[in-house]
Amino acid sequence: MQLDQLLKNLQLTSPDTSTLPAFALNLVLAAVLATVLGRAYILFGQSLSNRRIFARNFLLLTLTTTLVISIVKSSLTLSLGLVGALSIVRFRAAIKEPEELAYLFLAIGIGLGLGAGQPLVTAVALVLILVLIAIRYYARPKTDSPNLYVTVTAPGAPQLTANTLLGALTGAGATATLKRFEESPEQIEAAFQVSFRHVGAMDDAARRLRELASGMRISWLEERGLGV
């Protein structure tokens, strides 16, 4: 008898069609907030990756989280099933920047709030968070703001060090800041924020870097633009 009662308690409740308008409104709001978050990430983010491409994930992630939470919040069976599903799903994308992970959590937080039926709290929280991010962005010094990101990848070589790579960049007249340095027996990868006054200096820096090791690959990513 107790087993029958337990099974009845675990059964899915019949869908309440009266909640469909609210659910649809939450999905629309999730799309709007995810779009705002993506624009803020493109404008205020400091990640070395392509922020425009990465920001496209926010919309799908936020909508999916809203959908999942809206479905499972009233069903113990689905909640237990979600735990089992998440135990076998792994996030395979390489997250190299902590900032990327922080924005992903923020997108998930938006979906959790809207899926739980808290649209006002979620919207106000996002606005406050973005205001703080904007204040921090505009409050930082602009004198050394970079206009390019450069990633250098080369086969592992003892002579390639962070100081050596920095010396090649500064020797071309660049203002450079080391952001990431990964070293293995097979290869070395370094990422810098750099500032060049003109394209000629960038070409000189590329030549100096390639003179350090054969087979070096250099990738440039625009941040603020570079004049001729």
Residue 116 tokens, joined: 């739980």
For Cα atoms 193, 56, 49, give the angle at the middle one, nearest 5 degrees.
Answer: 15
Q: What is the dihedral of CA 26, 27, 33, 37, to 10 degrees?
A: 140
Residues 127 and 181 in one domain: no
Residues 173, 110 share a domain: no
Q: What range does the domain containing 84 cover?
A: 18-139
pLDDT in tens, 105-127: 999 899 989 988 899 999 999 99
Pair of tokens at residue 180: 């990431």
| Domain contains 75 | yes
Give pLDDT tens digits for 154-191. 887 777 888 888 888 888 888 888 888 888 878 888 88
Same domain assignment for residues 99 and 165: no
pLDDT tens digits, 69-82: 887 876 656 655 56
